[in-house]
Amino acid sequence: MLVRSLVDDQESVNVSTSIDDQGMVVEVTVNPDETGKVIGRQGRIIKAIRTLARASADYSVEVEVLG
């Protein structure tokens, strides 16, 4: 929901999760032209998304952006 509000092409957003020994990995795939909107200037937006994901979980969460 957070990423869809950041990009223009909301249909291109795909979120997939996987769990391994170290915790959960969340992969966010967006249109390559809009990857910068998700990352933000100097990575501020993706850092905030990662902080929210880690704070809401009881285990390790890693968020990756694929474009």
Range of the domain at 26: 2-66
Cα distance between residue 36 and residue 30, in whole Å: 10
pLDDT in the model for residue 58: 85
Cα distance between residue 67 and residue 59, in whole Å: 26
Q: Per-residue confidence of the chain (67 residues) as pLDDT tens digits?
A: 889 999 999 999 999 999 988 899 999 999 999 999 999 999 999 999 999 999 998 889 999 999 8
pLDDT in the model for residue 1: 85
Strands (E), the chain: 14-20, 23-29, 61-66
Is 32 in contact with 9 (CB distance < 8 Å)?
no
Which CATH number fits the domain that encloses residue 28? 3.30.300.20
**Domains held by the chain: number:** 1
